[in-house]
Structure 1
Amino acid sequence: MSSLIDFHPMSRRAFLGGFAATTALITLHPFAVRANGNANQAHLRLMETTDIHVNVMPYDYYADKPNDTMGLARTASIIDQIRAEAGNSMLVDNGDLLQGNPMGDYMAYKKGMKAGDLHPVIKAMNVLGYDCGTVGNHEFNYGLDFLFNTLGGANFPIVCANLTKGELAADPKQDALHFKPYAIIEKTIKDGGGAESAIKVGFIGFVPPQIMVWDQKNLYGKAHTRDIVEAARAWVPVMKEEGADIVIALSHSGIDGHGLTERMENASLYLAGVEGIDAVFTGHQHLVFPGPKDFVDVPGADPVKGTLLGKPAVMAGFWGSHMGLIDLLLEKDGSGWKILDFTCEARPIYHRDDARKIVANVGDKAEVVASVEPEHKATLDYVRTPVGKTSAPLYSYFALVADDPSVQIVSNAQTWYIRDMLKDGPHKDLPILSAAAPFKAGGRGGAEYYTDVPAGDIAIKNVADLYLYPNTVQAVVITGEQVKNWLEMSAGIFNQIVAGAQDASLINPDFPSYNYDVIDGVTYQIDLSKPAKYDKDGKAVHPETSRIVNLQFGGKPIEPGGKFLVVTNNYRAGGGGKFPEIGADKVVFVGPDTNRDVIVRYIVEQGTINPSADANWSFVPMAGTTATFETGPKGRDYAAAVKGARIEDAGDGAEGFAKFRLILG
């Protein structure tokens, strides 16, 4: 592939059909009509992108093929339409720009970023004319120097009110911040009478406080974080005092209705309750709000109207899948403006037709495509570089229901690495275990979101596909009892199943697959007839239960007080995922290498790898019982080869997935 034609997936006929359908929708928003002729009213449209994760192009670098479900170049193509519907508009981004696909790794590890360089994501955003942005947790994955060199090229302000340079001050307003806490942008808008008038729109940004755990290696001694709601309560009154007519929160934090807690990760619901905040753009969870599926049971959230505690809010998916829209009908109140009415929408860039195929709603925006062409081509060359061979396919279609080759190869590489690194250290005689999770296992990513590498050459793109994140290797020393509880936490991904049930639902969709750790080096079974000991947040909801049975090392039951060295990544070792008793105090080794680099080195040394799973875990048999789960339809090619589980095709699932039956008897 040598030209931009390579990643343009739409035929001329398909594009023209989609474009005609889209442009036919360009009509004035009802607020624009309502304000027409009224000199003291105006319509303002606020647009959001969030969780782009370097996906500028509609291209899946892992699969090395176009993909119509992603790409800022696609989201961008509807901006002109959206602006035309409104007249007055502003565009913001809600963070997680810089990490998430091989273009991000290429820029960080191969090309690098010096002061004055322009990152392709920033190039694209400058083309589109963003008004403001904030940072997400993944902005810190490559270190602060990379972060500031990259964001320094933005032609718009970046705000964050809860990221400090050091320890927290007694008064949040005295914190020494890495970014300005807010920006008040004076925008000229045209009112319903055709006259121009100024409005002061304030934007304030927030990042999850947990970055201090997730990126400790990059932030320790260089940064600190304050609770989101606490920071908002301090700074929003200041924004009002400085004349902000309306205040918009750019919250790289999701929606959680279980009650406000200190330093909570997903605080957007309670952020909306802060006096003075008028609207909330949210993200981080890779979900859609408003919409028919997500957050339907969250108290205080209205996923039909799009409100959090009565205030307008939007979460615009991920990877450019949606454009978030908050439309405000404004009324002049004395010398300022107030919100009279609002609507909220998350507008998608694609849909599925009756045949369940993905259909693009829009084409690429040419100016965005052109802005990143050099980096796109360089990334293609980078990801196609071979590093070795695999004697068998690597796939993750069944990673949640059976021991899996894509997880197995990660554990093989981690074990190989840590054995060499600690061979002369004080922990050299401890039994070595390896914890690894499937990162691409469908879910929110869709029916195509799986690892699928055929036997033969392995390129860098395949390694990046196996291990999505630039985590670094760490190891912890824990007891046999803590190993068991680690597995108990992981087993929370499964629903409880009554013996004799037919086609019971197997997977809890609220439990993220990246927290389903398989621990290699031990053998064990999972008893689905028992309730989960821990919920997805690590709370012991059934402390008396035990799903993990027959846990053995070397063919013998594990002693609760025995010591084990478990190799994992910095996220898990530092407490990420809230696994019981796993945290920085247990860490005995902090590696200089990323897990991905370790996998590459392992493959290079082996030449040809054998990724066959060793079936070290399975479900306890349950006579006459079956359960169903969904996976990618291409899993049908591998179902017969799955070790340690009896699986049969059960037809089609929802939204492009295939359904399979797990026979537990």
Structure 2
Amino acid sequence: MPIERPTTISRRTFLAGTAAGTTLIALHPFSARASTGQAHLRIMETTDLHVHVYPYDYYADKPVDTVGLSRTASIIADIRAEATNALLLDNGDFLQGNPMGDYIAYERGMQDGDMHPIIAAMNTVGFDAATIGNHEFNYGLEFLMKSTAGAAFPIVLSNIATQAGAGPRDDTTLFKPYVILDRMLTDGAGDSHPIKVGIIGFTPPQVMNWDRQHLEGNVTARDITATARAYLPEMKEAGADIIIALSHSGIGQAQDAEGLENASVPLAALDGIDAVMTGHSHLVFPSPTYEGYAAVDTAKGTIHGKPATMGGFWGSHLGVIDLLLERDGSEWRVVTTTSEARPISRRNEDRSVTALVEDDPAVLAAVKADHEATLDYVRRPVGKTTAPLHSYFALVADDPSVQIVSVAQTWYIRQMMQGTEYEGLPILSAAAPFKAGGRGGPEYYTDVPAGSIAVKNVADLYLYPNTVRAVKVTGAQVKDWLERSAGIFNQITPGTSDQPLLDPAFPSYNFDVMDGVTYRIDLSQPSKYDPKGGSLNPGASRITDLRYQGEPIDPAAEFIVATNNYRASGGGSFPGAMGDTIVFEAPDTNRDVIVRYIVEQGTVDPAADANWSFAPMPDTSVLFETGPAAQAYADGVESLTLEEVGMNDDGFTIFRILL
């Protein structure tokens, strides 16, 4: 049931002092130098855990050293021991985001009294409070409430209401809008003093669009900063000495505006907030990533002078804010602060990873059964495909492994555009083959046979943890986008034989195929763009017969293109996708969207529809290298006339294509 108002949480002494065993822990300078009436308070943050408890990549079905609350937890005890007083908070997006979350939601389910594995792990670690991120709503409100019921810590969220009042303070909120933690602080002289720590939580109001099917008619969302302005005086009236904002919202523009998704900067500017925990963006703060942002000081780790942190994602970092507090009569005030984000692993120059911490055995034990059940889940079918999903010919013909990605992206973006100003615009989808040989070698291809599809097969279809984006482009930009993709091909002289087809300097992940239109590529023409997207032959035109629904594309017509965050933000330098045309930033990864699509459809039919092909060139042939296993699929590529030539010294099979 929704909770209307917070209560004061029971008083207890902060965990403090020395580490267990013989490990020597150096006290933070605030703890070492605090005098009588001064106290060091350390606030630790996890954010965007996304059900990553074990250090395991369920898609790849193998252990990894870069993720996992079990790893983060192992450093919490030591980091806690560096401070005289400490709090541990979570900033949301803990309930969804990897196959363990899907297993619980789609297969095991949550009944009254059940314990969700991420909650079990968080209880084991000993969190003091948490907020709700946008992904907590992905499985519906009933699932959310049953999953969080087992939390041994308060969960707060101020800007989502089951009943909206005249203003935020008149709302009936889904969770407590805030909580006052009643604690005892130990000062520099060893004396204990009471302190009331206010914790308030926020989530992006865009959840009403992202999870419309679950939320519309059930809850409403308010602007983050407007909600904060309403509640901060009430929290002060309730006795809060300091107030910490759990902002499941990124670090973005400094200027406040109604409905900001990334509102942490204007939020930090509000009087009454003493520290801001940020998240949602899957980045790290303090870090050079935010260099040059207005009101953000990456050296000091502050936003508008307030200490702030962002602890990465999936347990990759622990955000840490240190406050030196001074007692002024019966109240506490912040004297000075520091901020940092501590990693659990290090990326080496050769791209290898070194683990910096070990697992916390108690955390692993708390979810061991669910981890093992998840392994069974990712190895079992979640759907079926009527066609094999392979990428052996993805660079020369419309391809089923790319087709399934495009279809899933279109399915998802069509839902996301409903109710927006872009509803009704034609939706196209751009996707590229990631595993297509090249430097990866002759076995580096997607190859999922027709029949059952397991969750882990999705990693074979989509290598990277990208998130979905949508851009709004013109017909002219669609053509130029495809001209950029067509740069992967060498210019072919008509009437000649066995010319090499592909430019080895052009990576396959930049060969976007556009679904939703039909077109041909004239290889006799020079490329308009060089392999890096720079202008090469400005007047060149390889893309011919470009049509939408059978009619030539109007250069001025507008289209929505579903793609990923890398491409939409300028990755690969594609016309129409340079960061300034983004109209939708999804909270979901492309992998998750593919899994959801397969689960919903049950059986998918991703057979390539040959919406693109090469323009005919009589008496002309080219040579194309692919993996030896392609031989089993060659007869099924109906849009090409193929002849197997042999094998090269690198182990690739060579096919002749008769144009």
Match status 1:260 vs 2:241: no
Cα distance, 1:410 vs structure 2: 2.9
For 2:463 and 2:270, how far apart are their aligned partners in 1?
Answer: 36
Match for 2:65 among 63, 68, 73? 68
Alignment CA distance shift 1:368-1:616 (3 Å): farther
Greater Rg over alpha carbons, structure: 2
SS of structure 2 residue aligned to 1:115: coil
SS in 1 for 2:325: strand
Q: State the match for 2:340 in structure 1.
A: 345
Tell me the SS of whatever aligns to 2:326. Answer: strand
In the alignment, the residues of structure 2 paired with residue 563 and residue 30 of structure 1 have an alpha-carbon distance, to the nearest angstrom, of: 58
1:288-335 deviation line (CA, Å, top 9, x unaligned):
00013x111211111121110111000010000000000111111111
- 1:253 and 1:602, CA in 2 relative to 1: closer, same or farther beyond 3 A? closer
Inter-CA distance 286–414: structure 2 relative to 1 (3 Å threshold): closer
**Distance in 1 between residues matched to 2:480 and 2:323, nearest whole Å:** 44
For the structure 1 residues 30 and 110, does the alpha-carbon distance in structure 2 shift closer, same or farther, using more than 3 Å as the test? same
Q: Measured at CA, do residues 403 and 45 of structure 1 come closer, stay the same or move farther in structure 2, by a change above 3 Å?
A: farther
CA–CA distance in structure 2, aligned partners of residues 343 and 286 of structure 1? 21
Q: Which residue of 2 aligns with 1:15?
A: none
Question: Of residues 320, 324, 327 in structure 2, which corresponds to 1:329?
Answer: 324
Matched, 1:147 2:144: yes
Map 1:317-396 → 2, pairs under 5 A: 317-386=312-381, 387=383, 391=388, 393=390
Deviations 1:113-145 (A, max 9, x none): 122111000000001111110000101000000
- Residues 436-455 of structure 1: pairs in structure 2 closer than 5 A: 453-455=446-448
In structure 1, what is the equivalent of residue 291 of structure 2? 296
Please report how far the alpha carbon of residue 484 of structure 1 lies from its aligned counterpart in structure 2 after TM superposition.
3.5
Aligned pairs for 1:484-495 within 5 A: 484=475
Q: Distance in 1 between matches of 2:322 and 2:350?
A: 34
Contact 1:383 1:459 in 2 (8 A): no
**Distance of aligned partners of 1:25 and 1:48 in 2 relative to their CA distance in 1, 3 Å threshold:** farther
Q: Deviations over 1:456-508 (max 9, x none)?
A: 48642235545899xxx9xx9xxxx97749959999x99xxxxxxxx9x999x
Q: Conserved in 2, the CA contact under 8 Å of 1:246 and 1:337?
A: yes
CA contact (8 A) 1:488 1:547 kept: no
Query: Which one of 135, 159, 164 corresponds to residue 162 of structure 1?
Result: 159
SS at the partner of 2:340?
strand
* Residue equivalent to 2:221: 225
Give 3-state SS (helix, strand or coil) of 1:109's partner: helix
> Counterparts of 1:239 and 1:416 in 2: how far apart (Å)?
44
- Aligned AA (2:184): T
Q: Does residue 46 of structure 1 match 2:43?
A: yes
Q: Aligned ranges for residues 107-506 of structure 1 at < 5 Å?
A: 107-167=104-164, 169-257=165-253, 259-292=255-288, 294-386=289-381, 387=383, 391=388, 393=390, 406-412=401-407, 435=429, 453-456=446-449, 459-462=453-456, 464-465=458-459, 466=461, 484=475
Give 2:642's aligned residue: none
Partner of 1:101: 98
| One-letter amino acid of the counterpart of residue 369, structure 1 | L
Can you list the C-alpha shifts for 1:81-102, whole angstroms capped at 9, x where unaligned? 1111113110000000111111
Per the TM alignment, residue 62 of structure 1 is displaced from its structure 2 partner at its CA by: 0.3
The alpha carbon displacement at 1:528 in A equals: 6.3
Task: Say whether the 8 Å CA contact 2:156–2:179 is kept in structure 1.
Answer: yes
- Give the CA deviation at 1:567: 10
Matches within 5 A, 1:569-584: none
Alpha-carbon offset, residue 454 of structure 1: 3.9
Check whether the contact 1:484–1:551 (CA below 8 A) recurs between aligned residues.
Answer: no
| 1:564-600 deviations in Å (ceiling 9; x for gaps) | 999999xxxxxxx9978999xxxxxxxxx98635435
Secondary structure in 2 matching 1:170: coil
Deviation at 1:27, TM superposition (A): 1.0
CA contact (8 A) 2:160 2:221 kept: yes
Counterpart contact for 1:463–1:599, Cα < 8 Å: no
User: Is the 2:401–2:446 Cα contact (8 Å) retained in structure 1?
Assistant: no
Structure 2 CA distance, aligned partners of 1:440 and 1:172?
A: 47
What is the identity, as a one-letter code, of the residue corresponding to 1:218?
Answer: H
* Amino acid corresponding to residue 318 of structure 1 in structure 2: F
Aligned AA for 1:385? Answer: R
Contact 1:100 1:468 in 2 (8 A): no
Gaps of 5+ in 2: 1-18, 414-423, 486-502, 522-526, 534-540, 565-578, 586-591, 616-625, 638-659
In structure 2, what is the Cα distance between the partners aligned to 1:565 and 1:331? 55
> Whole-Å Cα distance in 2 between the matches of residues 211 and 200 of structure 1?
31
Q: Is the 8 A contact 2:31 2:40 kept in 1?
A: yes
What is the CA-CA distance between 1:355 and the residue it aligns to? 3.5
TM-score normalised by L of structure 1: 0.67
SS at match of 1:83: helix
Can you list the C-alpha shifts for 1:636-658, whole angstroms capped at 9, x where unaligned?
Answer: 999xx9x9xxxxxxxxxxxxxxx
* Pairing partner for 2:74 from 74, 77, 98: 77
Indicate how the Cα distance of structure 1 residues 325 and 405 shifts in structure 2: closer, same or farther if over 3 A, else same: farther
Contact 1:482-1:581 at 8 Å conserved across structures: no
520 and 185 in structure 1: CA distance in 2 versus 1, 3 angstrom threshold = same
SS in 2 for 1:45: strand
Q: What's the CA shift for 1:166?
A: 3.6
Q: What secondary structure, in the 3-state scheme, does the structure 2 residue paired with 1:197 have?
A: strand
Question: Whole-Å Cα distance in 2 between the matches of residues 413 and 349 of structure 1?
Answer: 34
- Matched to 1:181, the amino acid is P
Indicate the residue corresponding to 1:30 in structure 2. 29
Task: Quote the Cα distance in structure 2 between the aligned partners of 1:452 and 1:636.
Answer: 7
1:376-422 deviation line (CA, Å, top 9, x unaligned): 11111111014557745469xx99xx98865422335788999xxxx
Cα distance in 2 between the residues matched to 1:230 and 1:362? 40
SS at match of 2:155: coil
Q: Counterpart amino acid of 1:557?
A: P
**Conserved? CA contact 1:102–1:464, under 8 Å:** no
* SS of aligned partner of 1:86: coil
Tell me the distance in 1 between the aligned counterparts of 2:232 and 2:133: 20
Bigger drift between 345-354 and 432-441 goes to: 432-441
Give the partner amino acid of 2:334.
I
User: In the aligned structure 2, how far is the partner of 1:602 from the partner of 1:125?
Assistant: 34
1:654 corresponds to which residue?
A: none
Do the aligned partners of 2:476 and 2:555 also contact (CA within 8 Å) in 1?
Answer: no
In the TM superposition, what whole-angstrom CA distance separates every residue of 1:615-635 from its partner, at most 9, and x where no partner exists? 6799xxxxxxxxxxxxxxxx9
Deviation at 1:266, TM superposition (A): 0.2
Aligned length: 522
CA 1:183–1:581 in 2, change beyond 3 Å: closer, same or farther? closer
Mapped partners of 2:301, 2:118: distance in 1: 28
